[in-house]
Amino acid sequence: MAAATGNGADTINSEQSVPASKPAAGSSLYVSQHDDKNERSEDDKDDDEAPEDVGNGTAVKKRKKKKKPKKKQTSANGTAKQSSPPRIPVASLFSPGQYPVGEEVEYHDENAFRTTNEEKRHLDRMNNDFLEEYRHGAEVHRQVRQWAQKNIKPGQSLTEIAEGIEDGVRALTGHQGLEEGDNLKGGMGFPTGLSLNHCAAHFTPNAGNKIILQKEDVMKVDFGVHINGRIVDSAFTMAFDPVYDNLLAAAKDATNAGVREAGIDVRMSDIGAAIQEAMESYEVELGGQSLPVKCIRNLNGHDIIQYSIHGRKSVPIVKGGDQTKMEEGETFAIETFGSTGRGYVRDDMETSHYAKKADAPNVPLRVSSARTLLSSISKNFGTLPFCRRYLDRLGHEKYLLGLNNLVSSGIVEAYPPLCDVKGSHTAQFEHTILLRPTVKEVISRGDDY
């Protein structure tokens, strides 16, 4: 989920080495469409005995062949396969402590000692619960997004796409979020962003939205999964016309450059410079014109803290003077946005994303619906972002007056869609990284990106 700067949009205020036998990230498999074939073993053949002559011209009936039970479908790592659409909780597919590990990258230069340092290894082991929650959420994200990538097609409504992703996340985390407080245990880390073309971030359909995905659209798919407030924030872009391949490649390459550069004691300015160099080395041929891909300079990556998607630090995607350093134990979303437009976004279109401020003031609310709504938001979302569809799902009606009152009172922050100039196209890729004491773990890495 994007952090914006300079356009009037504020941000949302927010390890024992793993055994090699653990399954690798991105190893999720889906149920195949063919049935298992039952092969006859030698034992089966022995059961087909010929009739026995008992001397009076009669024969004993042939003994019935034993049926072999069908084998339970399993993936390469021995766990049961996921259904399609994904509905089997990930916790039932893996043994305790066996969630796939993300991509582990050793530190270099002055931090190279961390890989084998006993003190750092001890600190790593103390983070076991933290790591399990993050790896659990990351595997949910991988399985849901891989299903989405295979099944999203032009002609579907944005509402259908968003609800398909969200239904998958809720099923795989085991938290439907309809009982009070259940969504705080696990589920959606923030609403599914489905931003089209010149819109870069923070768009999800409200009730009644009729937008249909078209073949010529470029769609950013940005959604979060959380377990106990540990939010995995990862995004990808889908396009159905190959003319946009270079735009997507630019954003993906830039994100990977940022992930490579990031680490303990690394300055934010150095990460931004690496991202910009990668992104702006690409051009896109559209309508007979060669257009440079620009970084959207007022969108940033960010740190993530428990139950708050945007923490206190920003990760720029252009070079600049920010000398803030990343530190041990922090979690960051490295996300980049490329554009064929101005490379600058502004608030536009109808708002759908909201979040209760972590430091919300205690002010009197004179609108009764605002008091009722605030109680529901606090019990069901806390400081996690939500959207209007989530309020509809909880049974709230005619809540816009109360919601706007909470926004104007400074208790809830509204996050309008962020858009470049009309006619331009934007792309995004994003990963969540954990700066563990011994290694950097790209927790959301998968076979897809």
Annotation says 430 is catalytic: yes
Given the residues 104, 330, 413, 430, the one annotated as active site: 430
Measured in whole angstroms, the distance separating CA 61 from the mean position of its chain's CA atoms is 61
CB 361 within 8 A of CB 213: no
CB–CB of 218/237 below 8 Å? yes
Q: Positive or negative, the Cα torsion across 161, 162, 163, 167?
A: positive
User: Which residue among 15, 166, 222, 261 is the active-site one?
Assistant: 222
The active-site residue, picked from 104, 124, 166, 233, is 233
Catalytic residue among 202, 310, 425, 431: 310
Other C-beta atoms lying within 10 Å of the C-beta of residue 157: 14
Q: For the chain, first and last CA: distance in Å?
A: 17
Per DSSP, the three-state class of 76 is: coil
Helix (H) or strand (E) holding 314: strand 314-315
Q: What is the dihedral of CA 312, 413, 219, 418, to 10 degrees?
A: -90
Catalytic residue among 15, 103, 335, 413: 335
Is residue 35 part of the annotated active site? The answer reads no
* Residues 172, 174: Cα–Cα separation, whole Å: 5
Task: Report d(CA 199, CA 339) in Å as an integer.
Answer: 10
In whole angstroms, what is the distance from residue 293 CA to residue 280 CA?
Answer: 5
DSSP per residue, 359-370: T--------HHH
Q: Which of 141, 302, 353, 431 is catalytic?
A: 302
Handedness of CA 143, 224, 234, 440 (dihedral sign): negative
Active site (catalytic) residues: 222, 233, 302, 310, 335, 430
